[in-house]
Structure formats: C-alpha cells, structure tokens
Amino acid sequence: MPLSESMSFAALNLVAVTPVEIRRQIALCVAFEPLGVSMGDAPHLAILYSRRNWLEEYDLAAAVEREFRGAKGVLTRIHSECLLGDAFGSSMCDCGSQMRVAMEEMAENREGVFIYLRQEGRGIGMRAKLECLALQYGYVDGKRVERRHTSDEANLALGHDVDERSFNIAGKLIKALSIGSVQLVTGNPRKIADLEAEGVKIASTKDLHQGTMSARAAEEFAEKIARGYIYDR
C-alpha cells in the first residue's frame, strides 16, 4: 500500500514529503495532520534521518517505505513545540537542548525519526503559555505580586490541565511508516502509553541530555519527576 494511502488509513493526512537540509545533511521532512482537520500553515512535522541519499530518489514516498518497513529499534523522538526553547534558546526549560541532542545523535547515526508536534505549552498554545509564564515569574496583569507559581500551578490557576497533550497522532505516523520497533527518547510514560495504544512496538527507551541545566529548568525538571516521568540519570 502506498505511503499516502497508508497514512490516510491511519487517520492522517499527508501534506508534503520533501528533502530538507539540516546542518549540511539532507533529511526528509514529512508534514502531516489529522485526517479531516486542517492545521493550515502549522502542520505537524517529522524529520527522517537515513544513510539514503534522498535527492537521488525518484519516488520519495516509496523510498520511505523501503527504508523504514520493518526496521527495528529506530531512534525516535516525539518533541512538542516550544518556540522559546527550540528557536530562541530559552534557559527556562530543557526543551531546546532535548531537541538538539536528539537531532544530533540521529544525524550522527544517519538513522532516526524526529516527530515535531505543534503542542506549544503542553497543548495550551502560545498565548496561554505566556500567561502562565507571567504567573511563574510573579506577575499578574503586568504587575509584580508576592506569590510565584510553579509551572503546574500556573496551568491550573488559569483553568488548564497540567498537560493537555496526546501523542496518539505520532503513533499513527510511526505505524504508517511501517517501522518494526522504536527506541523512544523519552521519560514521559504518557508517550509510551499513547504509542502502544496505536500498536507501536517500543523496544526500549533512552534518555538523552546534556547534563547541565539552569536553576529554572531544574525546577521544571523536578515537576516532571513529580508527575511520574522516569529518567536514567
């Protein structure tokens, strides 16, 4: 079954498959969204790393099928969008470093699937995230107050859940790629559960990190541990 058909069958809409240069290496970028739900100019993305020279391929979808069908233990990272960390290098969290370390390892090994989900602010969006950040730094309506909220407290104070994300759509993409099993870069048990619910076989998990983080990022990391995250460090 062609990739485009298999993705539709998996409840995904294939928006585009195109080569993209990342740090002087050609990877393949797949843009996708839930079937019947247009995400406009902000679809989810997946960067596919391989030893294959994608620029020599006549049929990219067919090449992807050949490359990943049945592959075992493919290094895979599901990364939720964090504009401040990913693009601007914010030290308030370790999102940017997680992204870069995972992509660097995939590029070095010439194999991997990096899935970038548009889930800013753990699913609440950029505007709400900025409102939460203000509470974390002790500001309400632009004015300093005595109490500073933790990240989780700020979400709840503004009427959001602590984490509003789902990772099922990433599992659907992995299934559409016909990958045999993945080595998942995560400490988040929800990611594991959502992928397994979609029939993805997780051969193992892996913790990639740079070893140092700011005091603010360390606070965020401690909240993750309190939520049940598991890291090998």
Boundaries of every domain in the chain: 3-119+166-226, 125-164
List of long-range contacts for 133-142, beta carbons under 8 Å, 24+ apart: 133/92
Per-residue pLDDT reduced to its tens digit, 18-40:
999 988 889 999 999 998 888 99
pLDDT(191) > 90? yes
**Is 163 among the residues known to form the active site?**
yes
How far apart (Å, rounded) are the C-alpha atoms in residues 140 and 135?
A: 6
Per-residue pLDDT reduced to its tens digit, 98-151:
999 999 999 999 999 999 999 999 999 999 999 999 999 999 888 998 889 999
Burial class (CB in 10 A: 0-12, 13-18, 19+), 27: buried
Assigned CATH for 3-119+166-226: 3.40.50.10990
Cα 90 to chain centroid distance, Å, stands at: 17
Sign of CA dihedral 192, 194, 197, 201: negative
- Least Cα distance to 232 among 179, 185, 171, 193 occurs for 185
Which one from 165, 227, 232, 233 is the annotated catalytic residue?
Answer: 165
pLDDT of residue 2: 61
Name the band, by pLDDT with cuts 50, 70 and 90, for residue 4: low
Ordered strands of the 44-49 beta sheet: 12-22, 25-34, 44-49, 112-117, 74-80, 182-185, 202-206
Which one from 86, 152, 163, 194 is the annotated catalytic residue?
Answer: 163
Q: How many CB atoms lie within 10 A of CB 62?
A: 12
Does the predicted TM-score (pTM) go above 0.75? yes
pLDDT(224) > 90? no
User: Could you report how far apart the first and last alpha carbons of the chain are, in Å?
Assistant: 42
Phi, psi (degrees; rounded to nearest 5) at 168: -60, -40
